[in-house]
Amino acid sequence: MVLTKRLQKLTQILSQAASINRPGDPDFESNATRWSEYAAPRPGAVINVATEADVQKTVQWAVKNGVQFLAQTGSHGWTITWNLGEPNVIINLRRLNKVSVNLNEGYAIIGGGALVHEVIDAAYAAKAHVVVGNCNSVGACGAMLGGGFSRLQANFGMSIDNLISVRLVTAKGEIITVSSTGDHPNLWWCLKGAGHNFGIVTSAVVKAFPQINDGMHWESNMIFLPDHIEQVTQTINDLDMGEGMSIHYAFAGLPPIGFPAVVLELWYAGTAEAAEKAFAPLFKLHPIYHKSSPTPYNKINAALDQGQYKGSQKPTWSVALEKLDPAAVRKVWNHYLEFRLFHPSSKNSAVMFECFAFGKVRETPDEHSAFPWRNMNFHVCASLLYTDPAVDEAADAWGEKFRLILQEASGMKENKVYVNYATGDEPIEEMYGDKHRLDILRAQKTLWDPEGWFSHYHPIY
């Protein structure tokens, strides 16, 4: 009732193109449903903002009325730190999805609500490359604010390394431009790796590059029998991940029946000839299935589209590693099979060993951004997929053990996790790094958001 009254006031100040969905409205479910419904927020309304001024007015309205809010673009963020219930709202940025690319000047402007595929489509049409994530339905800015892994990082660095400036709506309800040369160097640092904590990005200016190989890339799909796990793992460990290269090594359920399989997806930005040379050690391993093809850059993420539907429980855990331990990877396979055996409906669950090239990423020094883990080589994510929340408890225990298997075998002194892949129960240092980094983040948080309005997603505390 209270929220209803407050929303009436908000309706009066928003643009004509904005709208508000309440539970029961036709669009509420599609706009409020997340990629994973595990521990998902349950808002009392979705505010579909349509302009930068709408974002500003909504934040001002929310702060004035004490209404908690969460910005949302791709709704792919998973975490157990959401803290948003019925009296609170989602600010849906999807209508701010304009993307323009100026290759001559070497930049693109990405609307704060644009999805990865919208950026790729616009870049491809302009014969350009823009560094965005590997999954089409993820929010381009949502991913970038944590760092932004991309196949193109092999050539150009991560999304944050190519960021020129952002327009930001702050907790004070101001709109500011933040850039490397502007007035707020510490805030700029924080936005590149811990950005979800500091405001709402309404647009971002990023670098645009001429297409590699006229936009014709290459991909390869391989399936191995499980007895090859140690060999495949060691070969990936030893592979020199140079420019153009990226790999997803996965344990996944193969369609149509979800048969558990060991899968490799390889991508290369360049010619087939160069790709075959770069990945030669993997070609020698005798997969039971192997298909390679040239792929235009605008179709480069298509292989991952099937895992991106919204809804269902998809609790996810992740670990960042310097190297993959073949014996530990075997244990993870056994652990994966065990869960699937006891929970047959979870056949679309997957463990993904992301192997991206970090050479270009490391050309940007660590101290240039809040992203702390440029020295990691592998980011392993496990997502259990099922519909019955009664399975949550078993899933939680499984996830704990999954992380332990890899952490104990890592040989690393400290556990680390890419903030965009964190579950939300990790110590803060695992996501954001050491005390020096946390001191900067905490000081900037106190300056820009002392009341903690932007504290739903892996908050700084």
**Under DSSP, is residue 263 helix (H, G, I), strand (E, B) or coil?**
strand
Task: Pick the closer one to ligand FAD by CB: 112 or 215.
Answer: 112
405 near ligand FAD (CB under 6 A): no
d(CA 142, CA 110): 12
355 near ligand FAD (CB under 6 A): no
287 near ligand FAD (CB under 6 A): no
Instruction: Pick the binder of ligand FAD from 48, 73, 155, 246 (CB under 6 A).
Output: 73
315 near ligand FAD (CB under 6 A): no
> What residues does 247 pair with on adjacent strands?
266, 355
Closest separation in Å from C-beta 80 to ligand FAD: 13
Q: Considering only 136-144, 237-245, 361-369, 433-441, which stretch makes contact with ligand FAD by CB under 6 A?
A: 136-144
Task: Pick the closer one to ligand FAD by CB: 120 or 212.
Answer: 120
Q: Considering only 11-19, 131-139, 183-191, 436-444, which stretch makes contact with ligand FAD by CB under 6 A?
A: 131-139
130 near ligand FAD (CB under 6 A): no
Site for ligand FAD in 79-98 (CB under 6 A): 93
Q: Residues near 15 by Cβ (< 8 Å), separated by ≥ 6?
A: 50, 51, 53, 54
Site for ligand FAD in 169-228 (CB under 6 A): 196, 200-201
Task: Pick the closer one to ligand FAD by CB: 35 or 353.
Answer: 35
Instruction: Pick the binder of ligand FAD from 106, 242, 258, 307 (CB under 6 A).
Output: 307
423 near ligand FAD (CB under 6 A): no
- Sheet of strand 289-296, all strands in order from the earlier edge strand to the far edge: 289-296, 216-224, 259-268, 245-254, 350-356, 378-383, 316-321
d(CA 369, CA 384): 32
The pair of structure tokens assigned to 76 is: 């792919």
Please give the helix or strand (H or E) that residue 167 lies within, else none: strand 163-169
The pair of structure tokens assigned to 154 is: 């092999």
Closest separation in Å from C-beta 312 to ligand FAD: 12
Closest separation in Å from C-beta 201 to ligand FAD: 4
Is the separation of the CB atoms in 203 and 52 below 8 Å? yes
d(CA 441, CA 371): 11
How big is the CA angle at 406 (ends 324 and 375), to the nearest 5 degrees? 55
Say which DSSP state 366 is in: G
Task: Pick the closer one to ligand FAD by CB: 360 or 456.
Answer: 456
Q: Considering only 20-28, 145-153, 240-248, 250-258, which stretch makes contact with ligand FAD by CB under 6 A?
A: 145-153
326 near ligand FAD (CB under 6 A): no
Please give the helix or strand (H or E) that residue 439 lies within, else none: helix 435-448
Instruction: Pick the binder of ligand FAD from 41, 44, 148, 215 (CB under 6 A).
Output: 148
Q: Give exposure, 13-25, as e/b (b: 16+ Cβ within 10 Å).
A: ebeeebbbbeeee
Closest separation in Å from C-beta 137 to ligand FAD: 7
Task: Pick the closer one to ligand FAD by CB: 146 or 270.
Answer: 146
Q: Considering only 39-47, 59-67, 74-82, 394-402, which stretch makes contact with ligand FAD by CB under 6 A?
A: 74-82
Say which DSSP state 367 is in: G
Q: Which long-range contacts (CB under 8 A, 24 or more apart) does 6-15 make?
A: 6/61, 6/65, 6/67, 7/45, 9/61, 10/47, 10/57, 10/58, 10/61, 13/57, 13/61, 14/47, 14/49, 14/50, 14/54, 14/57, 14/58, 15/50, 15/51, 15/53, 15/54
Q: Residues near 96 by Cβ (< 8 Å), separated by ≥ 6?
A: 49, 50, 51, 52, 55, 111, 112, 113, 114, 202, 203
445 near ligand FAD (CB under 6 A): no
Write the CA distances from 343 to 253, 254, 398, integer angstroms.
13, 16, 12
Instruction: Pick the binder of ligand FAD from 153, 220, 318, 420 (CB under 6 A).
Output: 420
Site for ligand FAD in 4-43 (CB under 6 A): 35
Q: Considering only 137-145, 369-377, 391-399, 430-438, which stretch makes contact with ligand FAD by CB under 6 A?
A: 137-145
Task: Pick the closer one to ligand FAD by CB: 112 or 326.
Answer: 112
Residues found near ligand FAD in the complex (CB under 6 A): 35, 70-77, 93, 112, 133-135, 138-139, 141-143, 145-146, 148-149, 196, 200-201, 307-308, 420, 456-457
